[in-house]
A and B are shown apart, each in its own frame.
Chain A
Amino acid sequence: MSLPTLWFILIAILFVGYLFLEGFDYGVGMLLPFVGHTDQERRAILATIGPVWDANEVWLITAGGALFAAFPNWYATLFSGFYLGLALLLGGLIVRGVGLEFRSKDAHPRWRHMWDVLIVVGSAIPPVVWGLAMGNLLHGVPINAQMNYVGTFFTLLNPYALVGAVAAVLLFVLHGALYLSLKAPEELRSRAQKAAYTVGIWATVFYFGFVVLSYFYSNFVHTLGVDPGPIPILAGLSMIAIRFLLPGKHYGWAFAATGLTVTLSTASVFLALFPRVMISTLNPHWSLTIYNASSNPYSLKVMTIVAISVLPIVLAYQAWTYWVFRRRIHLEDTFHY
């Protein structure tokens, strides 16, 4: 396997890690006032993600850093091209991050209400932005011969990408609802499960809506064919499986299934792009590929050695924290958040 291909796969893995883990954090954040009605209930809900959300977010930062190191041109084109979208994402992450820490620091109901709203909004923005980004990455964007994005912000707000944004929001709400049904206090389980049922239907509709639109608005079909192969098919199947797991009350399995859907869908997007990383709608020759966007072999080799030696340790201690905090949260606990 060539080094650029290896790094393309590693970037995909980092984005999968980010979307899987922060996916349920975002879902929990969006559901906060709907599943938690009293203040104590909301603190319990935040406690389900409290010990892990920050480390989950580091997956995004690492993905960003790895993109910069391994594919500088991809990093440069993507972030300067999706400029306002990315600024929105960062604004959302800032508001959400300080919200989680600041919410409990004052007992005034208006203060906590304000942060509840901001946590919901800040948790909804990232899925919106990443949904939009996925749609636009698959569809292609106007990129000139110098690899610079030449569209406007409104170019990115096309109907296809907007369907992707809605699908991403709903999928993460579902993912978060299922996480809550496993981790939230017993008293809140039924609310989380009800949310999973209600949102689950719409998540399925928009998810497959986006898949169908992909056959018209992207060249998905040219790269992957009418039979797209096992990964996208399994992604769809696990989405369908959730419809059967929920009535059977297999919430653990349903959570695994949304996780699998997030994982395989992200993998499918990367597969559909490969070996391109950003498609130019102006001229196919102006597209960025893993070859014209990547760093030199020496740099990639150094990064590979670092990644191979550090990533397993990171995975080990991160897994250990999930083990340390495996216990279900109880309403009568004292909460930091």
Chain B
Amino acid sequence: MSQVGLARLQFGVTTIYHFLFVPITIGMAFMLAILETLYWRNPTDRGRQTINFFGRLFLINFAVGVVTGILQEFQFGMNWSNYSRFVGDVFGAPLAVEALAAFFLESTFLGIWIFGWDRVSPRIHALSMWLVAIGTSLSAFWILTANAFMQEPVGYKIVHGHAEMTNFFALLGNPQLWVEFPHTELAALATGAFVVIGVSAYFLARNRHVEWFRLPFQLGLIVASITSVLVILVGHDQAQHLIVAQPMKMAASEALWHTSALHASWSVVSFFNPATHHTWWSLSIPYLLSILAYNRLSGRVLGISALQHLYVHRYGPGNYVPPVFVTFWAFRFMILIGFLMAILAVWGLILVHKGRVLERPRYLRLMVWATGLPILGNIMGWVMTEVGRQPWIVFGLQKTVDGVSPTVPIGDIWITLIGFALLYGVVALIEVRLLLKFIRLGPGAAEPVPPPTTEFLSVGESL
């Protein structure tokens, strides 16, 4: 595999892994903040146990998110030094602000939250979780400010072959940011809600700790219903923006080889050969693509061939078509998952409203498995947006192949790729085992018993 291929694989593996945990952190922080606000207003033992229970799961997840996030901060310099030189002037600023304004906030107040139950007042304690929640969302905002620049560069000029920032407020007002951030943030909130719903449903379905999990379950359904409906609406806005800003990504995610007819239909599924641009079979809904793109029944959507022609004219010879297969199916799965989430959440809310949810064990068991939906959906969305931007690393300005570190030996990339993959794999196994263990233990479970002391004496002396 080439150097750029390996560097991309490493970035993909580590970023997708990191992004499994981050939305859970963002969403659960908000759920915990709401739960603790309710507890602050009405302190009960049961409320405290519920917070401790979800808090423990939150912290196990948070730890993995944090440590894999450090790698993200340095990976640009390690594997993408030419990219860093090209864009650091613009791209570095949101990253630095993220650390300064968001990471300090979340880490400091999480310390207060974990260790401060007896050190600060209940009000400050609840406030700490709100600050953690705000910190995690601010972090999402700043990192997406950086990412939005890669999708749609604004507020810069090219000087001596690299991008220089000319307007910070243009970065903050990037239209791409204002569709990308709400979509991602809402998806993250939905993810946290689905985790809380799934865990609660596990107990409700078994008729265990019903009094503990009724509240988080209902709260989760309310948050999940609102956010998963909104995420679809904002996603629709994002797709419409895509038509204007990155039409090639849109064409690829539709496998639209040739510019559509005036009344464009939307293919639900399609089987095609990306090499020959041949579609064997597809199931299409008439007019839907025009509606999705322009909110009306008619309107052409540019196809891949036309855009390729246009880009050659604009950017010079080269292949400007992203991997269509991945982009197309990632988009489809994301949409499917998004609708399933909204349906399940709203359905649950109706059942709760009718007071019948506890009589529906099948629904409850389904919601346990539904925890995986948003986590998978997040990855699909991320894959679509990043793979669909190829061959660009910064759209229209720098190609991915030109962004890599030119002098890092290929053997070194292999070492770190395999090393991090193994390390991440082991950490994931441990994390999942711990999460399942603490879910099964349930709320109010006693601390693990300290082990016999003698075994430990030997460790210190032998080391």
A and B: interacting chains: yes
Tell me the residues in window 98-114 of chain B with beta carbons closer than 8 Å to chain A beta carbons.
Answer: 98-101, 103-105, 107-112, 114
Task: Pick from A145-153, A201-209, A237-245 the stretch touching chain B.
Answer: A145-153
Task: Pick from B82-90, B189-197, B243-251, B337-345 the stretch touching chain A.
Answer: B82-90
**Would A54 and B107 count as touching, CB distance under 8 A?**
yes
Which chain B residues lie closer than 8 Å to A78 at the CB level?
77
Tell me the residues in window 35-94 of chain A with beta carbons closer than 8 Å to chain B beta carbons.
Answer: 36-40, 42, 47, 50-52, 54-55, 57-58, 60-62, 64-73, 75-81, 83-84, 86-87, 90-91, 93-94
Interface presence of B66 (CB below 8 A):
yes
**Would A80 and B81 count as touching, CB distance under 8 A?**
yes
**Would A87 and B85 count as touching, CB distance under 8 A?**
no
**Which of A37, A50, A62, A100 contacts B100 (CB under 8 A)?**
A62
**What is the distance, in angstroms, from B53's C-beta to the closest C-beta of chain A?**
14
**What is the distance, in angstroms, from B83's C-beta to the closest C-beta of chain A?**
8
- With A34-B460, A302-B93, A302-B168 already in contact, the answer to whether A148 and B70 are too (CB < 8 A) is no
**Would B459 and A116 count as touching, CB distance under 8 A?**
yes
**Would A65 and B100 count as touching, CB distance under 8 A?**
yes
Task: Pick from A107-115, A173-181, A260-268, A273-281 the stretch touching chain B.
Answer: A107-115
Question: Bound complex: CA of A39 vs CA of B107, how far in Å?
Answer: 26
- With A64-B73, A295-B165, A314-B100 already in contact, the answer to whether A76 and B60 are too (CB < 8 A) is no
**Would A102 and B60 count as touching, CB distance under 8 A?**
yes
**Would B107 and A58 count as touching, CB distance under 8 A?**
yes
**Would B71 and A94 count as touching, CB distance under 8 A?**
yes
Which chain B residues lie closer than 8 Å to A71 at the CB level?
88
Question: Bound complex: CA of A108 vs CA of B451, how far in Å?
Answer: 6
**What is the distance, in angstroms, from B122's C-beta to the closest C-beta of chain A?**
14
**Would A76 and B85 count as touching, CB distance under 8 A?**
yes
**Would A334 and B59 count as touching, CB distance under 8 A?**
no
**Which of A52, A105, A296, A317 contacts B159 (CB under 8 A)?**
A296
| Band of interface residues on A | 35 or more
Interface presence of B416 (CB below 8 A):
yes
Question: Bound complex: CA of A324 vs CA of B90, how far in Å?
Answer: 38
Interface presence of A221 (CB below 8 A):
no
**Would B450 and A107 count as touching, CB distance under 8 A?**
yes
**Would A87 and B70 count as touching, CB distance under 8 A?**
no
**What is the distance, in angstroms, from B423's C-beta to the closest C-beta of chain A?**
6
Chain B contact residues: helix, strand, loop or mixed? helix
**Would B115 and A51 count as touching, CB distance under 8 A?**
yes
Which chain A residues lie closer than 8 Å to B91 at the CB level?
68
**Would A84 and B406 count as touching, CB distance under 8 A?**
no
Task: Pick from A212-220, A249-257, A303-311 the stretch touching chain B.
Answer: A303-311
**Which of A77, A113, A120, A336 contacts B114 (CB under 8 A)?**
A336
Which chain B residues lie closer than 8 Å to A134 at the CB level?
none
**Would B88 and A76 count as touching, CB distance under 8 A?**
yes
Question: Bound complex: CA of A307 vs CA of B101, how far in Å?
Answer: 9
**Would B99 and A62 count as touching, CB distance under 8 A?**
yes
Task: Pick from B25-33, B205-213, B364-372, B407-415 the stretch touching chain A.
Answer: B407-415
**What is the distance, in angstroms, from A325's C-beta to the closest C-beta of chain B?**
7
Which chain B residues lie closer than 8 Å to A324 at the CB level?
112, 116, 119-120
- With A93-B67, A109-B451, A302-B168 already in contact, the answer to whether A65 and B90 are too (CB < 8 A) is no
**Which of B59, B159, B437, B463 contacts A101 (CB under 8 A)?**
B59
**Would A68 and B84 count as touching, CB distance under 8 A?**
yes
Question: Bound complex: CA of A40 vs CA of B73, how far in Å?
Answer: 35
**Would B427 and A94 count as touching, CB distance under 8 A?**
yes
Which chain A residues lie closer than 8 Å to B162 at the CB level?
72
Tell me the residues in window 38-84 of chain B with beta carbons closer than 8 Å to chain A beta carbons.
Answer: 59-60, 62-64, 66-71, 73-74, 76-79, 81-82, 84
**What is the distance, in angstroms, from B143's C-beta to the closest C-beta of chain A?**
11
Which chain A residues lie closer than 8 Å to B71 at the CB level?
90, 94
Chain A contact residues: helix, strand, loop or mixed? helix
**Would B81 and A38 count as touching, CB distance under 8 A?**
no
**Would A317 and B108 count as touching, CB distance under 8 A?**
yes
**Would A336 and B115 count as touching, CB distance under 8 A?**
yes
Question: Bound complex: CA of A71 vs CA of B68, how far in Å?
Answer: 24
Which chain B residues lie closer than 8 Å to A296 at the CB level?
89, 159, 164-165
Tell me the residues in window 415-461 of chain B with beta carbons closer than 8 Å to chain A beta carbons.
Answer: 415-416, 419-420, 423, 427, 430-431, 434, 437-438, 447-453, 455-457, 459-461
**Which of B100, B405, B447, B448 contacts A310 (CB under 8 A)?**
B100
**Would A76 and B84 count as touching, CB distance under 8 A?**
yes
**What is the distance, in angstroms, from A320's C-beta to the closest C-beta of chain B?**
9
Which chain A residues lie closer than 8 Å to B82 at the CB level?
76
**Would A38 and B448 count as touching, CB distance under 8 A?**
no
**Would B104 and A314 count as touching, CB distance under 8 A?**
yes
Tell me the residues in window 304-332 of chain A with beta carbons closer than 8 Å to chain B beta carbons.
Answer: 306-307, 310-311, 314, 317-318, 321, 324-325
Question: Bound complex: CA of A39 vs CA of B110, how far in Å?
Answer: 25
Tell me the residues in window 222-238 of chain A with beta carbons closer than 8 Å to chain B beta carbons.
Answer: none
Most chain A CB neighbours (cut-off 10 Å) among B103, B166, B409:
B103
**Would B448 and A318 count as touching, CB distance under 8 A?**
no
Closest 9 CB pairs of A and B: A72-B88, A79-B77, A69-B92, A68-B92, A107-B448, A65-B96, A76-B81, A101-B63, A51-B111
Known contacts A65-B100, A86-B74, then 19 further A-B pairs from the complex at CB < 8 Å, ordered by chain A residue: A37-B461, A50-B115, A51-B116, A54-B110, A61-B69, A61-B73, A87-B416, A87-B419, A93-B67, A101-B59, A102-B434, A112-B456, A113-B455, A295-B88, A298-B164, A299-B89, A302-B168, A306-B96, A336-B115
26 A-B contact pairs sorted by A residue (CB < 8 Å): A33-B459, A33-B463, A51-B111, A58-B103, A66-B96, A67-B92, A69-B89, A69-B95, A72-B87, A72-B88, A76-B82, A84-B416, A87-B419, A90-B71, A90-B74, A97-B63, A101-B60, A102-B434, A105-B434, A113-B459, A116-B459, A146-B406, A147-B85, A302-B165, A314-B100, A325-B111
Residues of B that sit less than 8 Å from A by CB? 59-60, 62-64, 66-71, 73-74, 76-79, 81-82, 84-85, 87-93, 95-101, 103-105, 107-112, 114-116, 119-120, 159, 162, 164-166, 168, 405-409, 412, 415-416, 419-420, 423, 427, 430-431, 434, 437-438, 447-453, 455-457, 459-461, 463
